[in-house]
Structure 1
Amino acid sequence: MKILVSSSQDSLNVKGAYLEVLSDALGSVGVIIGALVIYFTGWMWVDTVIAVLIGFWVLPRTWVLLKQSINILLEGVPSEIDIESLRNDLLALEGVQGIHQLKVWAITSKNVHLTAHLIAPDVDQRALYHQAVELLGHEHGITQVTLQIEEDECHPHQHEHSH
């Protein structure tokens, strides 16, 4: 149980296993308490009350786990990532004039990916890349980074061709 508690923040699988073990333990304790109360008082309704209380305890925790799982399956932005703060941090890097195509998503609860196009004319692109990767890793916990550094902003092709 101690191993599950310590690892439950790192993995949704472990968190799910932890909730399963904990709800089973609560169910067992509830059955024992309910049996004792029924034995000594004859109050049969206690069994139902205990079951409902355990359900009310498990339901919100299961809902949180379900929301996190769905967010990962849909490759959503992790709740702990503040996109505006991230964008502002990247814009604060020397030479960065703009950002577009910024996408952040999670593959697992701890494996967050980012792709972005940085508009940064007249800079050492390799140095900027390394600064951005270091910033994203240290400040935002994002270690899977793909950056495209551009001299100017890409515009959609707006004129017609005659071929």
Structure 2
Amino acid sequence: GAYLEVWSDMLGSVGVIAGALIIRFTGWDWVDTVIAVAIGLWVLPRTWTLLKESINVLLEATPAHVNPDEIQEAILGVEGAQSIHDLHIWSISNDKVSLTAHVVYDPRTYNIEVLGKIRKLLAEKFDIHHVTIQLEDLPCEQAAEQHTFSPIGKEDENDHQH
């Protein structure tokens, strides 16, 4: 926003000075209107972009450049990560993305290592550094709301009721 404001002020000042000189030496009063419209047309698209980005931050929307499915797939590719639920990705500024998730890990693995691998993956591959991961050896109640989960070695009882 500040960057846009400085450029707009500079462009406005240059336009006013140029317009004043043109009017002074040619008498063409209409130049003032043309320069004002040109400045407005230059500023308008940038203002729209800034407004859109600001609304996304305020609404805690997933940034446009982030693909949640790709991130979920990458986390599931980490050794020891069995499933993921309650994944939320949002932006708290133009360049700072935050992520929270619940990751069910294989209890046969060391959970701190799984967490370290996930954090490293998110930082290096997706440039996401503000991360909160809740590791679970069994899925919490939020997982049941999103999908059915069968612990390792146990089949879903519904599969045998046919």
The bucket for the TM-score relative to the shorter chain is 0.7 to 0.9
1:51-62 alignment runs, 5 A limit? 51-62=36-47
Structure 1: 4+ residue segments shifted above 3 A: none
Partners of 1:145 and 1:27 in 2: CA distance: 42
Taking only aligned residues, the RMSD between alpha carbons, in angstroms, comes to 1.7
1:48 to 33, 40, 50: 33
Partners of 2:37 and 2:138 in 1: CA distance: 61
Residue 39 (structure 1) aligned with residue 36 (structure 2)? no
Per-residue deviation, residues 8-57 of structure 1 (Å, max 9, x unmatched): xxxxxxxx222112111111111122122222332221111110111110
Unaligned 5+ residue runs, structure 1?
1-15, 157-163
Deviation at 1:139, TM superposition (A): 1.2
Q: Give the corresponding residue for 1:130.
A: 116
Partners of 1:140 and 1:55 in 2: CA distance: 36
Deviation at 1:89, TM superposition (A): 0.8
Q: Which moved more, 1:32-41 or 1:68-77?
A: 32-41
Q: Specify the SS of the correspondent of 1:43.
A: coil
Deviation at 1:130, TM superposition (A): 0.7
Partners of 2:69 and 2:59 in 1: CA distance: 21
Q: Give the corresponding residue for 1:159.
A: none
| Structure having the higher Rg | 2
Q: Give the corresponding residue for 1:97.
A: 82
1:76 to 61, 65, 85: 61
Partners of 1:57 and 1:107 in 2: CA distance: 27
Q: Give the corresponding residue for 1:117.
A: 102
Q: Specify the SS of the correspondent of 1:35.
A: helix
**TM-score with structure 2 length normalisation?**
0.78
Partners of 2:87 and 2:126 in 1: CA distance: 14
2:116 partner letter: H
**TM-score with structure 1 length normalisation?**
0.78
1:63 partner letter: W
Partners of 2:29 and 2:88 in 1: CA distance: 56
Partners of 2:96 and 2:8 in 1: CA distance: 28
Q: Specify the SS of the correspondent of 2:128.
A: coil
Partners of 2:2 and 2:131 in 1: CA distance: 31
Residue 65 (structure 1) aligned with residue 65 (structure 2)? no
Q: Give the corresponding residue for 1:107.
A: 92
Deviation at 1:97, TM superposition (A): 2.6
Partners of 2:4 and 2:123 in 1: CA distance: 30
Partners of 1:93 and 1:75 in 2: CA distance: 27
Deviation at 1:102, TM superposition (A): 0.4
2:126 partner letter: H
